[in-house]
Chain A
Amino acid sequence: MLLDIADLEPVATFAADLCVVGGGPAGLSIARELSSSRLRVVVLESGGLELDGETQHLYSGPCRGTLLAGLSGYLATSRLRYLGGASNHWQGWCRRHDALDYEVRDWVLESGWPLELERLGPYYHRASELCRVPDFDDHRDASTLRAALLGEDPDFETTFFHMSPPVRFGEAFGGELAGAPDVRVVLHANVLDLRTDRSRRRVTAVDAASLGGRRLTVRSRGVVLACGGIENARLLLAAGGDGLGLGNERDLVGRYFMDHPSVHLGQLVMPYWRHLMRPYGYLGAGGRRQTVRAALRTSEALQRRERLLNAVFVFDPIGAEEAPELAPEVMALATDVLQLAEEHPDPANGSNFVGALRAEIEQIPDPENRVTLTDERDALGMPRAALRWTIGEQDEASLQGSVRALVRSLGSRLRARVHLPEEIGAIWEASVPSNHHMGTTRMSTTPDRGVVDTDCRVHGIDNLWIAGSSVFPTSGCSNPTLTLIALALRLADHLKELLA
């Protein structure tokens, strides 16, 4: 059932088994899974069916950090506040996390997921179905697809992103949920508070309101926060209105914020190897959108040997007019060297590739990168969120080490010559956030290390769970959507059993 809070009584109360806050990919995945369970589910969505400026402005807040200097509107624009949430501007990139991402790495502060990759396997399978991409395990399935750009290089592996159409979760599943008798999706319902019992161990009600002044209270046996890495933290910090917040006894809510810096590194020229680059480019033959896109990822061996963070490099073809100075001359040099080393594959078929080089990098979970509340209030009286997000020394050193390794591997195989700014500051100036909000309610086995347990339940609260990439302890270098949906489906299975 699809409802608008404007159509309810001015002050309404719903009873339910589960209240899901947020109608994005995580929240709708859970609601959809539970729609056939006979559990009564209420989904509270802040927005309507399309973008609305006033609602979107509820996200606004101050931010500062390395990549945010020119992006004062980062908080207001990096998420979309209407049914479908962030999937409404999702580019569709899907890739599993890597095995090493889940491990404790002694060179990465607070690394290690309290989950084993294998346990997520079946949920990745189901998440792939929702995202309409093949169920593809890089490590199992990629061997036959390995592009020859670097062959069996020990420092890099060719990896693959699968491109979702992309699925807009509101459009794709809104109709299905509207027809589900036990699911009520309520639009324009902004959560103001999570009320608890006196022990603060149990959420008893969720209070919501519209910008038009309508009020709705949901009393449910369980509550899932699924409204993104900023808002999940904001709601927990603001809950109760007494400054204590919920699940924040150890001052961890909002800390360890991570995004994937989308690092615009520079350009590269590759004589004769254009055919090898085809899987790495965005467009297939005839300008068709590709469903698979290859990239180069730093290998586990390289990360372990040089104590690097995870990183993936992608290539985009560019026109001659975008190529840097001396590109033709460097191409000539690289071509001559290739020819005298008798390495070129087939001059009749080979052609040159000039491309932009970009990296998506992991950053360390840093407790000082965090979401906090400001004194300023939004139109509903909620304290606005503020964000501090900087690139640290280890992040920077890791990027430099990864790039050095890439230059080494591409060069020693006579594949490419790379053009990079000489000052790292110039690289950051050209780089942008990926709008992947992660880590602010991180998963841990004990409450002194994180906010939620391995079932995504908030430590110390019996009936409050978190869905979304805010539970990621580390970010890896993959886009988070596939993994956060896998985790949401796992949570849905857990809740189905628990609340049945």
Chain B
Amino acid sequence: MTMRPRGMARREVVLVFAAAAAAPGFFVSCRRRFDPRALAAALAARLRRDDALRTLGRAVVAAHPDESGVDALAERLATDLGWTPDMPGEEFDRRLGERIRDDFRHDRILVVDSWRLAASEARVAALLALSSE
């Protein structure tokens, strides 16, 4: 089921998204409405073992240089999780857990020093590592 703003007909939603998609930079501008470090901070607050995760994150970045930009990582995670800065912590936990399960379910795996990690959890570790530098 597609979520849509209250009072808007299905056809209007389609038109708005079609117009927005046609406008260059729409999705980028949507995603950049937050500070990437805010997501990193939210992650650090939810995850207890952030020191170990940062160590792992550095290995993720070394193994996957394409996963090395703070902005790109944060945008990717925010998109995948549907994250917004005002998202309640429990909801964030639920979505991250579900996304990681889903990554495994659909073979979205990143190999890091021979460890098979869910792509999202590897990105979480990488973001924590990079944002603390």
Contact = CB atoms under 8 A, between A and B. Distances in A.
Interface string B24-58: 00000000000000000000001111001101100
A264 to B, nearest CB: 14
Contact of A333 (B52, B104, B113, B116): B52
Contacts of B115: 324, 326, 330, 417-419
A343 B114 contact: no
Majority secondary structure, B binding face: helix
Contacts of B130: none
Interface in A386-414: 404, 407-408, 410-414
A339 B100 contact: no
Given A326-B59, A414-B101, A419 B114 contact: yes
A337 B97 CA distance: 6
A420 B118 CA distance: 14
B99 to A, nearest CB: 10
A333 B111 contact: no
A408 B117 contact: no
B93 interface: yes
A401 B118 CA distance: 17
B56 A266 contact: no
Contacts of A341: 93-94, 96-98, 100-101
B107 A408 contact: yes
Contacts of A335: 49
Contacts of B104: 407-408, 410-412
A337 B52 contact: no
Interface in B106-133: 107, 109, 111-118, 121, 125
Contacts of B100: 337, 341, 411, 414
Most buried by B among A326, A333, A412, A414: A333
B105 interface: yes
Contact of A325 (B46, B111, B113): B113
B116 A411 contact: yes
A466 B52 CA distance: 60
B2 to A, nearest CB: 25
A408 B105 contact: yes
Contacts of B52: 328-329, 332-333
A419 B109 CA distance: 12
Contact of A266 (B46, B101, B114): B114
Nearest to A416: B116
Contacts of B118: 411
Contacts of B49: 332-333, 335-336
B31 to A, nearest CB: 23
Nearest to B89: A340
Interface string A173-217: 000000000000000000000000000000000000000000000
A421 interface: yes
B97 A343 contact: yes
A88 B107 CA distance: 44
Nearest to A423: B114
B53 A329 contact: yes
B49 to A, nearest CB: 4
A342 B105 contact: no
Contacts of B93: 340-342
Interface string A409-445: 0111110011111100000000000000000000000
A16 B119 CA distance: 70
A73 B52 CA distance: 46
A329 B111 CA distance: 14
Nearest to B111: A422
B117 A333 contact: yes
Contacts of B96: 337, 340-341
A332 B103 CA distance: 19
Contacts of A340: 46-47, 93, 96-97
B119 to A, nearest CB: 11
A330 B49 CA distance: 11
A412 B113 contact: no
A78 to B, nearest CB: 31
Contacts of A410: 104
A422 B56 contact: no
Contacts of A342: 93, 97
B55 A329 contact: yes
Contacts of B101: 341, 411-414
A325 to B, nearest CB: 6
A407 B55 contact: no
A79 B9 CA distance: 76
A347 to B, nearest CB: 12
B97 A414 contact: yes
Nearest to A426: B114
30 contacts: A324-B115, A326-B59, A326-B112, A329-B53, A329-B59, A330-B56, A330-B117, A332-B49, A332-B53, A332-B56, A333-B52, A333-B56, A333-B121, A333-B125, A337-B121, A341-B94, A404-B107, A407-B104, A408-B104, A410-B104, A411-B100, A411-B118, A412-B105, A413-B101, A414-B97, A414-B101, A420-B114, A420-B116, A421-B114, A422-B114
Interface of B: 46-49, 52-53, 55-56, 59, 93-94, 96-98, 100-105, 107, 109, 111-118, 121, 125
Interface of A: 266, 324-326, 328-330, 332-333, 335-337, 339-343, 404, 407-408, 410-414, 417-422
